[in-house]
Amino acid sequence: MNQEIVESFSQMAREKGIDRDILVGIVEDVFGMMIKKKYGLNSKYDVVVNMDKGDIEIYLEKEVVETVEDPSIQITPEEVKRKSGDQLEVGEEFVEIIPLADFGRRLVISAKQNLNQRIKEIEREAIYNEYSNSMGEIVVGEIYQIRKGRGEILVMHNKNELILPRSEQIYKERYKKSDTIRAVVKEVRKGSGNPMVIISRTDPQFLMRLFEIEIPEIYDGIIEIKRIAREPGDRAKVAVLSHDDRIDAVGACVGMKGIRIHAIVRELNNENIDVINFSEEPLTFIQRSLAPAKLKDVQINLDDKKATVLVANDQVSLAIGKGGQNVRLASKLTGFDIQVVKEGGEEEEYDMDLSEFRDELGDVLFHKFFDEGYETVRDVIESPKEEIVNTLGIEIAKVDEIVAMLTKGLEEAEVENEEDDVPSVQDIKQQEERNQGETAPEKEPS
Protein backbone atom coordinates (compact mmCIF):
# COMPACT_ATOMS: atom_id res chain seq x y z
CA MET A 1 0.00 0.00 0.00
CA ASN A 2 2.86 2.38 0.85
CA GLN A 3 4.47 2.02 -2.56
CA GLU A 4 1.15 2.40 -4.37
CA ILE A 5 0.35 5.66 -2.56
CA VAL A 6 3.81 7.17 -3.06
CA GLU A 7 3.82 6.26 -6.76
CA SER A 8 0.42 7.87 -7.31
CA PHE A 9 1.65 11.02 -5.54
CA SER A 10 4.87 11.05 -7.60
CA GLN A 11 2.95 10.72 -10.84
CA MET A 12 0.67 13.58 -9.82
CA ALA A 13 3.68 15.74 -9.02
CA ARG A 14 5.28 14.99 -12.41
CA GLU A 15 2.10 15.87 -14.30
CA LYS A 16 1.67 19.14 -12.44
CA GLY A 17 5.37 20.01 -12.48
CA ILE A 18 5.63 20.19 -8.69
CA ASP A 19 9.06 20.07 -7.04
CA ARG A 20 9.75 16.74 -5.27
CA ASP A 21 10.90 18.41 -2.05
CA ILE A 22 7.66 20.37 -1.90
CA LEU A 23 5.69 17.16 -2.49
CA VAL A 24 7.57 15.38 0.33
CA GLY A 25 6.71 18.24 2.67
CA ILE A 26 3.01 18.02 1.73
CA VAL A 27 2.94 14.23 2.22
CA GLU A 28 4.53 14.60 5.66
CA ASP A 29 1.95 17.23 6.64
CA VAL A 30 -0.99 15.15 5.39
CA PHE A 31 0.09 11.98 7.19
CA GLY A 32 0.87 14.01 10.31
CA MET A 33 -2.78 15.11 10.32
CA MET A 34 -3.83 11.42 10.01
CA ILE A 35 -1.72 10.51 13.05
CA LYS A 36 -3.18 13.33 15.14
CA LYS A 37 -6.70 12.30 14.13
CA LYS A 38 -6.12 8.67 15.16
CA TYR A 39 -3.71 8.98 18.11
CA GLY A 40 -4.50 12.45 19.49
CA LEU A 41 -3.22 16.01 19.10
CA ASN A 42 -0.42 15.52 21.67
CA SER A 43 1.09 12.50 19.96
CA LYS A 44 4.77 12.59 19.00
CA TYR A 45 5.55 11.19 15.57
CA ASP A 46 7.93 11.20 12.64
CA VAL A 47 6.99 10.66 8.96
CA VAL A 48 9.78 9.57 6.59
CA VAL A 49 9.02 9.65 2.86
CA ASN A 50 11.43 8.02 0.43
CA MET A 51 10.32 9.01 -3.08
CA ASP A 52 13.04 6.92 -4.76
CA LYS A 53 12.01 3.67 -3.05
CA GLY A 54 8.36 4.59 -3.09
CA ASP A 55 8.03 4.13 0.65
CA ILE A 56 6.40 5.94 3.60
CA GLU A 57 7.40 5.05 7.16
CA ILE A 58 5.49 6.38 10.17
CA TYR A 59 7.06 6.30 13.63
CA LEU A 60 5.11 6.94 16.86
CA GLU A 61 7.15 7.93 19.92
CA LYS A 62 5.97 7.28 23.50
CA GLU A 63 7.52 7.59 26.96
CA VAL A 64 7.68 4.45 29.09
CA VAL A 65 5.89 5.09 32.44
CA GLU A 66 4.50 2.98 35.30
CA THR A 67 1.07 4.57 35.15
CA VAL A 68 -0.34 5.90 31.89
CA GLU A 69 -2.06 9.27 32.17
CA ASP A 70 -2.02 10.20 28.45
CA PRO A 71 -2.17 7.17 26.07
CA SER A 72 -1.15 9.36 23.11
CA ILE A 73 2.36 9.97 24.52
CA GLN A 74 2.81 7.33 27.27
CA ILE A 75 3.05 3.53 27.45
CA THR A 76 3.75 0.95 30.20
CA PRO A 77 6.69 -1.52 30.11
CA GLU A 78 4.18 -4.37 29.92
CA GLU A 79 2.53 -2.90 26.79
CA VAL A 80 5.97 -2.42 25.22
CA LYS A 81 6.81 -6.09 25.93
CA ARG A 82 3.51 -7.22 24.39
CA LYS A 83 3.91 -5.08 21.22
CA SER A 84 7.58 -5.53 20.45
CA GLY A 85 9.03 -8.10 22.82
CA ASP A 86 11.52 -5.52 24.06
CA GLN A 87 12.15 -4.90 27.75
CA LEU A 88 12.36 -1.14 28.37
CA GLU A 89 12.80 0.69 31.65
CA VAL A 90 10.63 3.53 32.93
CA GLY A 91 11.81 6.85 31.44
CA GLU A 92 13.03 5.37 28.17
CA GLU A 93 11.53 6.15 24.72
CA PHE A 94 9.55 3.56 22.80
CA VAL A 95 9.37 4.02 19.01
CA GLU A 96 6.65 2.09 17.26
CA ILE A 97 6.40 1.65 13.46
CA ILE A 98 2.78 2.18 12.35
CA PRO A 99 1.66 0.35 9.17
CA LEU A 100 -0.67 2.34 6.90
CA ALA A 101 -3.20 -0.48 7.17
CA ASP A 102 -3.71 0.44 10.84
CA PHE A 103 -5.27 3.75 9.80
CA GLY A 104 -8.09 2.12 7.93
CA ARG A 105 -9.12 2.57 4.31
CA ARG A 106 -11.40 5.53 5.01
CA LEU A 107 -8.63 7.54 6.67
CA VAL A 108 -6.18 6.76 3.85
CA ILE A 109 -8.73 7.84 1.20
CA SER A 110 -9.31 11.06 3.17
CA ALA A 111 -5.53 11.64 3.22
CA LYS A 112 -5.31 11.20 -0.56
CA GLN A 113 -8.15 13.68 -1.09
CA ASN A 114 -6.45 16.14 1.23
CA LEU A 115 -3.19 15.69 -0.68
CA ASN A 116 -4.96 16.27 -4.02
CA GLN A 117 -6.43 19.50 -2.67
CA ARG A 118 -3.03 20.70 -1.46
CA ILE A 119 -1.44 19.91 -4.82
CA LYS A 120 -4.20 21.81 -6.65
CA GLU A 121 -3.60 24.83 -4.41
CA ILE A 122 0.12 24.72 -5.21
CA GLU A 123 -0.68 24.38 -8.91
CA ARG A 124 -3.00 27.43 -8.78
CA GLU A 125 -0.35 29.45 -6.96
CA ALA A 126 2.28 28.40 -9.52
CA ILE A 127 0.03 29.48 -12.43
CA TYR A 128 -0.74 32.79 -10.72
CA ASN A 129 2.95 33.50 -10.06
CA GLU A 130 3.98 32.47 -13.59
CA TYR A 131 1.56 34.84 -15.34
CA SER A 132 1.79 37.63 -12.76
CA ASN A 133 5.51 37.73 -13.50
CA SER A 134 4.70 37.77 -17.24
CA MET A 135 2.36 40.78 -17.15
CA GLY A 136 2.94 42.88 -20.26
CA GLU A 137 4.79 40.06 -22.03
CA ILE A 138 3.73 38.33 -25.25
CA VAL A 139 2.58 34.70 -25.11
CA VAL A 140 2.04 32.39 -28.08
CA GLY A 141 -0.75 29.86 -27.76
CA GLU A 142 -3.21 27.74 -29.72
CA ILE A 143 -6.92 28.51 -29.99
CA TYR A 144 -8.84 25.49 -28.73
CA GLN A 145 -12.33 26.92 -28.17
CA ILE A 146 -14.39 29.86 -29.47
CA ARG A 147 -17.40 30.78 -27.33
CA LYS A 148 -19.80 32.26 -29.85
CA GLY A 149 -22.34 33.64 -27.37
CA ARG A 150 -19.92 35.72 -25.31
CA GLY A 151 -17.35 36.07 -28.07
CA GLU A 152 -14.54 34.83 -25.83
CA ILE A 153 -11.63 32.83 -27.21
CA LEU A 154 -9.89 30.22 -25.06
CA VAL A 155 -6.18 29.82 -25.78
CA MET A 156 -3.98 26.95 -24.58
CA HIS A 157 -0.50 28.00 -23.45
CA ASN A 158 1.85 25.59 -21.63
CA LYS A 159 -1.21 23.43 -20.74
CA ASN A 160 -2.87 26.47 -19.13
CA GLU A 161 -6.11 28.07 -20.28
CA LEU A 162 -5.92 31.77 -21.18
CA ILE A 163 -8.90 33.97 -22.08
CA LEU A 164 -9.03 36.49 -24.93
CA PRO A 165 -12.27 38.44 -24.31
CA ARG A 166 -14.18 40.08 -27.16
CA SER A 167 -13.13 43.52 -25.86
CA GLU A 168 -9.44 42.56 -26.24
CA GLN A 169 -9.79 41.26 -29.82
CA ILE A 170 -9.04 43.30 -32.95
CA TYR A 171 -12.52 43.77 -34.40
CA LYS A 172 -11.53 42.96 -38.01
CA GLU A 173 -9.87 39.65 -37.17
CA ARG A 174 -11.56 36.28 -37.59
CA TYR A 175 -10.25 33.34 -35.57
CA LYS A 176 -10.40 29.59 -36.12
CA LYS A 177 -9.84 26.64 -33.83
CA SER A 178 -6.20 25.40 -33.81
CA ASP A 179 -4.91 28.78 -35.06
CA THR A 180 -1.71 29.98 -33.41
CA ILE A 181 -2.20 33.38 -31.80
CA ARG A 182 0.03 35.97 -30.15
CA ALA A 183 -1.21 38.28 -27.41
CA VAL A 184 0.04 40.14 -24.36
CA VAL A 185 -0.75 39.12 -20.76
CA LYS A 186 -2.96 41.95 -19.50
CA GLU A 187 -4.44 40.75 -16.19
CA VAL A 188 -4.36 37.78 -13.80
CA ARG A 189 -7.31 37.29 -11.45
CA LYS A 190 -7.52 34.88 -8.53
CA GLY A 191 -10.71 32.89 -8.13
CA SER A 192 -12.11 29.74 -6.56
CA GLY A 193 -10.53 27.60 -9.30
CA ASN A 194 -7.45 28.20 -11.40
CA PRO A 195 -6.45 31.87 -11.85
CA MET A 196 -8.12 33.65 -14.78
CA VAL A 197 -5.44 34.90 -17.17
CA ILE A 198 -6.69 37.68 -19.50
CA ILE A 199 -4.71 38.28 -22.69
CA SER A 200 -5.09 41.13 -25.18
CA ARG A 201 -4.33 42.06 -28.78
CA THR A 202 -5.74 45.58 -28.47
CA ASP A 203 -3.68 46.85 -25.55
CA PRO A 204 -0.93 49.39 -26.48
CA GLN A 205 1.49 47.14 -24.58
CA PHE A 206 1.01 44.50 -27.27
CA LEU A 207 2.12 46.95 -29.95
CA MET A 208 5.10 47.97 -27.81
CA ARG A 209 6.24 44.34 -27.41
CA LEU A 210 5.91 43.74 -31.17
CA PHE A 211 8.20 46.71 -31.76
CA GLU A 212 10.72 45.21 -29.32
CA ILE A 213 10.61 41.87 -31.18
CA GLU A 214 11.00 43.33 -34.68
CA ILE A 215 13.36 46.23 -33.93
CA PRO A 216 16.62 45.26 -32.15
CA GLU A 217 17.45 48.91 -31.33
CA ILE A 218 14.31 49.12 -29.19
CA TYR A 219 15.04 45.82 -27.46
CA ASP A 220 18.61 47.00 -26.72
CA GLY A 221 17.37 50.34 -25.35
CA ILE A 222 19.04 52.49 -28.03
CA ILE A 223 15.60 53.64 -29.19
CA GLU A 224 12.84 54.20 -26.65
CA ILE A 225 9.09 54.12 -27.24
CA LYS A 226 7.85 57.18 -25.36
CA ARG A 227 4.11 57.06 -26.11
CA ILE A 228 1.54 55.03 -28.02
CA ALA A 229 -1.96 56.04 -29.12
CA ARG A 230 -3.99 53.32 -30.78
CA GLU A 231 -7.38 52.53 -32.28
CA PRO A 232 -6.89 48.76 -32.68
CA GLY A 233 -7.33 47.40 -36.17
CA ASP A 234 -7.42 50.83 -37.80
CA ARG A 235 -4.54 53.11 -36.92
CA ALA A 236 -1.85 53.77 -34.33
CA LYS A 237 0.69 56.51 -33.64
CA VAL A 238 3.97 55.64 -31.95
CA ALA A 239 6.35 58.32 -30.63
CA VAL A 240 9.98 57.18 -30.46
CA LEU A 241 13.21 58.73 -29.20
CA SER A 242 16.79 57.78 -30.11
CA HIS A 243 19.43 57.82 -27.37
CA ASP A 244 22.16 57.68 -30.02
CA ASP A 245 22.57 60.74 -32.27
CA ARG A 246 23.90 58.53 -35.05
CA ILE A 247 20.66 56.52 -35.28
CA ASP A 248 17.44 57.87 -36.80
CA ALA A 249 14.65 56.53 -34.58
CA VAL A 250 11.90 56.63 -37.22
CA GLY A 251 14.12 55.17 -39.96
CA ALA A 252 15.24 52.31 -37.71
CA CYS A 253 11.63 51.46 -36.82
CA VAL A 254 10.38 51.56 -40.40
CA GLY A 255 13.36 49.70 -41.84
CA MET A 256 14.61 49.54 -45.40
CA LYS A 257 11.60 49.70 -47.75
CA GLY A 258 9.38 49.42 -44.67
CA ILE A 259 10.32 45.79 -44.02
CA ARG A 260 10.37 46.11 -40.22
CA ILE A 261 7.12 48.01 -39.81
CA HIS A 262 5.38 45.74 -42.37
CA ALA A 263 6.00 42.72 -40.14
CA ILE A 264 4.16 44.49 -37.31
CA VAL A 265 1.39 45.71 -39.62
CA ARG A 266 0.79 42.14 -40.86
CA GLU A 267 0.56 40.84 -37.28
CA LEU A 268 -2.07 43.51 -36.54
CA ASN A 269 -4.19 42.72 -39.62
CA ASN A 270 -3.00 45.75 -41.65
CA GLU A 271 -3.39 48.33 -38.90
CA ASN A 272 -1.82 51.58 -40.16
CA ILE A 273 1.09 52.66 -37.95
CA ASP A 274 2.55 56.18 -37.96
CA VAL A 275 5.98 56.39 -36.35
CA ILE A 276 7.05 59.90 -35.31
CA ASN A 277 9.95 61.44 -33.42
CA PHE A 278 9.09 62.32 -29.83
CA SER A 279 9.73 65.87 -28.55
CA GLU A 280 9.48 67.41 -25.09
CA GLU A 281 8.47 70.66 -26.81
CA PRO A 282 4.63 70.60 -27.10
CA LEU A 283 4.51 72.73 -30.27
CA THR A 284 6.91 70.47 -32.16
CA PHE A 285 5.28 67.30 -30.83
CA ILE A 286 1.78 68.43 -31.88
CA GLN A 287 3.03 69.33 -35.36
CA ARG A 288 4.62 65.91 -35.78
CA SER A 289 1.62 64.05 -34.34
CA LEU A 290 -0.76 65.57 -36.93
CA ALA A 291 1.38 64.45 -39.89
CA PRO A 292 0.93 64.16 -42.83
CA ALA A 293 -1.03 67.44 -42.55
CA LYS A 294 0.92 70.71 -42.89
CA LEU A 295 -0.06 73.23 -40.22
CA LYS A 296 -0.24 77.01 -40.62
CA ASP A 297 -0.17 77.88 -36.93
CA VAL A 298 -0.51 76.27 -33.49
CA GLN A 299 -1.78 78.08 -30.39
CA ILE A 300 -1.16 76.24 -27.12
CA ASN A 301 -2.74 76.66 -23.67
CA LEU A 302 -0.41 74.78 -21.33
CA ASP A 303 -2.61 75.25 -18.27
CA ASP A 304 -5.71 73.68 -19.84
CA LYS A 305 -3.69 71.30 -22.06
CA LYS A 306 -5.51 72.58 -25.15
CA ALA A 307 -4.20 73.39 -28.61
CA THR A 308 -5.84 75.22 -31.54
CA VAL A 309 -4.38 74.24 -34.90
CA LEU A 310 -4.82 76.39 -38.02
CA VAL A 311 -4.70 74.54 -41.34
CA ALA A 312 -5.28 75.43 -44.98
CA ASN A 313 -8.48 74.18 -46.61
CA ASP A 314 -6.67 71.50 -48.59
CA GLN A 315 -5.07 70.15 -45.40
CA VAL A 316 -8.25 69.85 -43.32
CA SER A 317 -9.01 66.25 -44.31
CA LEU A 318 -5.42 65.19 -43.65
CA ALA A 319 -5.36 66.86 -40.22
CA ILE A 320 -8.70 65.41 -39.14
CA GLY A 321 -8.36 62.02 -40.82
CA LYS A 322 -11.03 59.50 -41.71
CA GLY A 323 -13.84 59.88 -39.17
CA GLY A 324 -11.67 62.26 -37.10
CA GLN A 325 -9.17 59.50 -36.41
CA ASN A 326 -5.96 61.46 -37.06
CA VAL A 327 -6.78 64.31 -34.68
CA ARG A 328 -8.13 61.90 -32.03
CA LEU A 329 -4.94 59.87 -32.01
CA ALA A 330 -2.80 63.03 -32.01
CA SER A 331 -4.73 64.24 -28.94
CA LYS A 332 -4.17 60.93 -27.15
CA LEU A 333 -0.49 60.87 -28.09
CA THR A 334 0.33 64.43 -27.03
CA GLY A 335 -2.05 64.71 -24.08
CA PHE A 336 -3.50 67.94 -25.54
CA ASP A 337 -7.13 68.52 -26.55
CA ILE A 338 -6.50 69.52 -30.18
CA GLN A 339 -9.04 71.61 -32.12
CA VAL A 340 -8.52 71.94 -35.87
CA VAL A 341 -9.52 75.29 -37.42
CA LYS A 342 -9.49 75.84 -41.17
CA GLU A 343 -8.05 78.98 -42.70
CA GLY A 344 -10.53 81.48 -44.20
CA GLY A 345 -10.64 82.24 -47.88
CA GLU A 346 -11.64 80.46 -51.03
CA GLU A 347 -12.88 76.95 -50.65
CA GLU A 348 -10.56 74.43 -52.26
CA GLU A 349 -11.46 71.00 -53.51
CA TYR A 350 -11.80 68.39 -50.79
CA ASP A 351 -9.03 65.79 -50.80
CA MET A 352 -7.88 62.88 -48.69
CA ASP A 353 -4.56 61.22 -47.95
CA LEU A 354 -4.22 58.01 -49.97
CA SER A 355 -3.16 56.15 -46.80
CA GLU A 356 -6.81 56.35 -45.66
CA PHE A 357 -7.57 53.72 -48.32
CA ARG A 358 -4.59 51.49 -47.60
CA ASP A 359 -6.80 48.56 -46.50
CA GLU A 360 -8.93 48.78 -49.64
CA LEU A 361 -5.92 49.02 -51.97
CA GLY A 362 -3.82 46.42 -50.20
CA ASP A 363 -0.30 46.89 -48.93
CA VAL A 364 1.55 46.13 -52.20
CA LEU A 365 -0.60 48.37 -54.42
CA PHE A 366 -0.62 51.21 -51.88
CA HIS A 367 3.19 51.26 -51.80
CA LYS A 368 3.34 51.20 -55.61
CA PHE A 369 1.22 54.36 -55.72
CA PHE A 370 3.15 55.99 -52.88
CA ASP A 371 6.56 55.22 -54.41
CA GLU A 372 5.46 56.88 -57.67
CA GLY A 373 4.38 60.08 -55.90
CA TYR A 374 0.61 59.50 -55.65
CA GLU A 375 0.03 60.80 -52.10
CA THR A 376 -3.64 61.88 -52.15
CA VAL A 377 -6.88 60.54 -53.61
CA ARG A 378 -7.07 63.38 -56.15
CA ASP A 379 -3.52 62.59 -57.28
CA VAL A 380 -4.92 59.27 -58.49
CA ILE A 381 -8.41 60.09 -59.79
CA GLU A 382 -7.28 63.23 -61.66
CA SER A 383 -4.33 61.52 -63.36
CA PRO A 384 -4.78 60.05 -66.87
CA LYS A 385 -5.58 56.36 -66.56
CA GLU A 386 -3.05 55.47 -69.27
CA GLU A 387 -0.35 57.15 -67.19
CA ILE A 388 -1.24 55.02 -64.15
CA VAL A 389 -1.26 51.86 -66.28
CA ASN A 390 2.19 52.62 -67.69
CA THR A 391 3.67 53.79 -64.37
CA LEU A 392 2.37 51.03 -62.10
CA GLY A 393 2.11 48.23 -64.66
CA ILE A 394 -1.49 47.29 -63.83
CA GLU A 395 -4.42 46.61 -66.18
CA ILE A 396 -6.85 49.36 -67.24
CA ALA A 397 -9.80 47.45 -65.76
CA LYS A 398 -8.06 47.44 -62.37
CA VAL A 399 -7.41 51.20 -62.67
CA ASP A 400 -11.11 51.80 -63.43
CA GLU A 401 -12.05 49.78 -60.35
CA ILE A 402 -9.60 51.71 -58.14
CA VAL A 403 -10.71 55.14 -59.41
CA ALA A 404 -14.38 54.25 -58.85
CA MET A 405 -13.66 53.07 -55.31
CA LEU A 406 -11.59 56.17 -54.44
CA THR A 407 -14.16 58.55 -55.97
CA LYS A 408 -16.99 57.01 -53.96
CA GLY A 409 -14.94 57.08 -50.76
CA LEU A 410 -13.96 60.73 -51.33
CA GLU A 411 -17.59 61.77 -51.93
CA GLU A 412 -18.82 59.99 -48.80
CA ALA A 413 -16.05 61.52 -46.67
CA GLU A 414 -16.75 64.99 -48.11
CA VAL A 415 -20.43 64.72 -47.13
CA GLU A 416 -19.45 63.54 -43.66
CA ASN A 417 -16.95 66.38 -43.35
CA GLU A 418 -19.57 68.98 -44.37
CA GLU A 419 -22.01 67.67 -41.77
CA ASP A 420 -19.38 67.98 -39.08
CA ASP A 421 -17.56 70.94 -40.64
CA VAL A 422 -14.44 72.43 -39.13
CA PRO A 423 -14.89 76.09 -38.15
CA SER A 424 -12.93 78.71 -40.07
CA VAL A 425 -11.11 81.64 -38.48
CA GLN A 426 -13.94 83.96 -39.60
CA ASP A 427 -16.56 81.64 -38.08
CA ILE A 428 -14.77 81.75 -34.73
CA LYS A 429 -14.42 85.54 -34.81
CA GLN A 430 -18.09 86.00 -35.69
CA GLN A 431 -19.13 83.65 -32.91
CA GLU A 432 -16.96 85.56 -30.41
CA GLU A 433 -18.54 88.86 -31.52
CA ARG A 434 -22.04 87.40 -31.11
CA ASN A 435 -21.14 86.11 -27.65
CA GLN A 436 -19.80 89.54 -26.63
CA GLY A 437 -22.96 91.22 -27.93
CA GLU A 438 -25.16 88.86 -25.92
CA THR A 439 -23.22 89.44 -22.71
CA ALA A 440 -22.72 93.24 -23.13
CA PRO A 441 -24.53 95.25 -20.40
CA GLU A 442 -27.54 97.30 -21.52
CA LYS A 443 -27.06 101.09 -21.60
CA GLU A 444 -29.02 103.08 -19.03
CA PRO A 445 -31.58 105.50 -20.53
CA SER A 446 -30.33 109.08 -20.52
Q: Which residue has the higher pLDDT, 186 or 372?
A: 186
> For all residues of the chain together, what is the average pLDDT?
83
CATH of 281-438, one of 3.30.70.141, 3.30.830.10, 2.40.110.20, 3.30.300.20: 3.30.300.20
Label residue 418 by pLDDT band (50, 70, 90): low
pLDDT in tens, 222-237: 999 999 999 998 899 9
Q: How far is CA 347 from the centre of its chain?
A: 45
Which CATH number applies to 134-202?
Answer: 2.40.50.140
CA distance 15 to 359: 47
Q: Which residue has the higher pLDDT, 84 or 63?
A: 63
pLDDT in tens, 244-276: 999 999 999 998 888 899 999 999 988 999 999
- Please give the pLDDT value at position 229: 95
241-246 long-range contacts (CB < 8 A, ≥24 apart) are 241/277, 241/278, 242/217
pLDDT at 143 over 70: yes
pLDDT in tens, 363-379: 788 888 887 888 888 88
Label residue 445 by pLDDT band (50, 70, 90): very low
- Please give the pLDDT value at position 223: 95
pLDDT at 408 over 70: yes
- Please give the pLDDT value at position 41: 81
Percent above pLDDT 90 for the chain: 33
- Please give the pLDDT value at position 171: 87
Q: Give the CA count within 13 Å in the CB-facing half-sphere of 92.
A: 10
pLDDT at 432 over 60: no
Domain range annotation of the chain: 2-129, 134-202, 281-438
Q: Which residue has the higher pLDDT, 342 or 273?
A: 273
2-129, superfamily in CATH?
A: NusA, N-terminal domain (3.30.1480.10)
Label residue 428 by pLDDT band (50, 70, 90): very low
Cβ-proximal residues to 40 (8 Å cutoff; 6+ apart), any chain: 70, 71, 72, 73
Q: Give the CA count within 13 Å in the CB-facing half-sphere of 133.
A: 6
